[in-house]
Structure 1
Amino acid sequence: MTAAMEKWRAPGELLGWASEYTSGRGTYVWNNKIYASVVGIEVVSQPPVAAETKGPLIEVVGGKRHGAVPEPGLVVTGKVGKVTGKTASVEIVCVGSRVVKEKFSGIVSSGSKMFVLQK
């Protein structure tokens, strides 16, 4: 991709419709629209053949490399910080088998779609 063709995107910038594209890394879907979640270059590519997708894969690739970043569907390991009624705040320390470099937190509630494994 040449410098003239690069589309730099900022967090919150609209990239396209979820009905036309498959949301990839550096993006999120809200109200059937795909938005950038990081600063970087928009990259549109064909998804892997085996993937069940709606269309081309749209991603925003940042200039700097960073550690593991939590994404929906990934297994994370965390330290429970605060527990209240139906929720618990969690400091995420690993995404899959990779230690995170940045600090991430999450909230687990009794209404969560996934379950929590305890050791």
Structure 2
Amino acid sequence: MSSDTAVITPGRRLGIAQEYEAGPGTYVRNGTIFSSILGTKRISSKSEDTEKPVISVEKSDSKFAIPVIGSEVLARIVRINPRAASVAIMMVGSTPCQEDFQGIIRAQDIRATEKDLVQMINSFHPGDIVRAEVISLGDQRSYYLATTRNEHGVVFAQSADGNAMVPVSWEEMQDPKTGAIEKRKCAKTF
């Protein structure tokens, strides 16, 4: 009598109030139904009380990682432009995310000093895995992340030849097979 879908995060758009009745775990804003909790989306069939199907979100017993301000995350660089890098957040602390969350690392949030000298192409490349800190919940689409601390930055990168690189300084990584050096904002590993 009900249908299951993927895991739903708070603030996720579920449907419109013209087609569904808002149930537990949801709220309505401007005619749109949103999730108010983390859980599983349920759509119940029409009943005698309602003319429309009821859409709700039920809490799940599973542990899901959700980024919060101050949490350390692992993210994959998806794309870069001169002012920011778009990332997919894969882990919060040591807990994997059920689904990737979108994030942004702005140029001014890469280093703590000499922020005006930062060049995005010398800090990250698409496909790099970075350790960062959530500094703001951002806008509706993305979390804002920073790599200003020494232990934050690129933790895994592949060279142009496809080989795993190793850090040789805080701003360079080297392909051990070819000896090629590429610029990155490296994380200090302990």
- What interval of TM-score do these two structures reach, taking the shorter chain for normalisation? 0.3 to 0.5
The structure whose Rg is larger is: 2
Task: State the TM-score, normalizing by the size of structure 2.
Answer: 0.31
Task: State the TM-score, normalizing by the size of structure 1.
Answer: 0.46
Q: Which protein, 1 or 2, shows the higher relative CO under an 8 Å CA cutoff with sep ≥ 6?
A: 1
